[in-house]
């Protein structure tokens, strides 16, 4: 499951990069000077509880005006929180030991004027009156079990890393080309890395 997810994630990244390159060559889209969103990982660390590494993290989500406009026009936004445990090696590239995705779908419910956040992994839906509350509900990760300690080989150095991004591929098809070439849609954090410890 972990390895498969890792491959799938790499696959998606490669596809996104290639596609962005291709589209950037083919289209030239003017960029509007509006509110630029940003995703930022405030903190992340793991706690070893009962031989299982649990993740605690705080992520700030600020949507760009383009994303907000899409959201308020009924377009669901999918946010992908990508978690990995990586073994650093001196002479080779890092080995991904665990690779997990936590995906949320944020949607605006016009009738009730509420923001619905659905955890795509669990199917749990929560509704929020304010957008900020909905974003905060996605940004708090508490005691999320990441990896069994027994899966790690003693003596090696492992790090945990975290990245949150808006999944452009989950947008409606007509929007994807536009989103790939518009910086306002490129909402992603850098990899946030921390040493794995109990």
Binding site for other proteins (CB under 8 A): 15-16, 18-19, 22-23, 26-27, 69-70, 73-75, 109-114, 116, 123-130, 133, 137, 169, 172-178, 180
Smallest distance, other proteins to C-beta of residue 29, A: 9
Smallest distance, other proteins to C-beta of residue 75, A: 6
Of 133, 126, 41, which Cα lies nearest the Cα of 83? 41
Instruction: Between 114 and 161, name the residue whose CB sits nearer to other proteins.
Output: 114
Smallest distance, other proteins to C-beta of residue 183, A: 16
Residue 15: C-alpha distances to residues 20, 22, 35, 79, 110 (Å):
8, 10, 27, 17, 33
Smallest distance, other proteins to C-beta of residue 174, A: 4
Pairing of strands 158-166, 77-87: antiparallel
Q: Distance between CA atoms of 68 and 131, rounded to whole angstroms? A: 10
Instruction: Between 121 and 129, name the residue whose CB sits nearer to other proteins.
Output: 129
Instruction: Between 86 and 141, name the residue whose CB sits nearer to other proteins.
Output: 141
Length of the chain counted residue by residue: 198
Confirm if 29 and 178 have CB atoms less than 8 A apart: yes
CA triple 28-189-73, angle to 5 deg: 60
Instruction: Between 90 and 113, name the residue whose CB sits nearer to other proteins.
Output: 113
Smallest distance, other proteins to C-beta of residue 184, A: 13
Instruction: Between 104 and 192, name the residue whose CB sits nearer to other proteins.
Output: 104
Sign of CA dihedral 12, 18, 24, 26: negative
């Amino acid at each position: 499951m972990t390895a498969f997810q890792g491959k799938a994630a790499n696959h998606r990244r490669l596809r996104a990069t290639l596609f962005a390159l291709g589209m950037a060559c083919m289209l030239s889209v003017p960029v509007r000077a509006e509110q630029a969103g940003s995703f930022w990982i405030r903190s992340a660390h793991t706690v070893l509880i009962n031989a299982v590494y649990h993740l605690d993290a705080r992520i700030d989500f600020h949507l760009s005006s383009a994303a907000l406009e899409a959201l308020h026009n009924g377009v669901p936004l999918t946010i992908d929180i990508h978690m990995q445990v990586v073994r650093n090696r001196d002479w080779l590239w890092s080995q991904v030991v665990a690779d997990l995705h936590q995906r949320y779908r944020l949607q605006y419910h016009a009738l009730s004027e509420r923001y619905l956040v659905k955890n795509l992994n669990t199917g749990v839906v929560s509704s929020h009156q304010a957008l900020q509350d909905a974003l905060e509900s996605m940004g708090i990760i508490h005691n999320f079990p990441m990896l069994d300690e027994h899966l790690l080989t003693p003596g090696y150095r492992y790090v945990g890393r975290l990245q949150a991004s808006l999944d452009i591929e989950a947008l409606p098809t007509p929007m994807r080309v536009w989103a790939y070439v518009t910086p306002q849609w490129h909402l992603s954090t850098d990899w946030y890395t921390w040493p794995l410890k109990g």
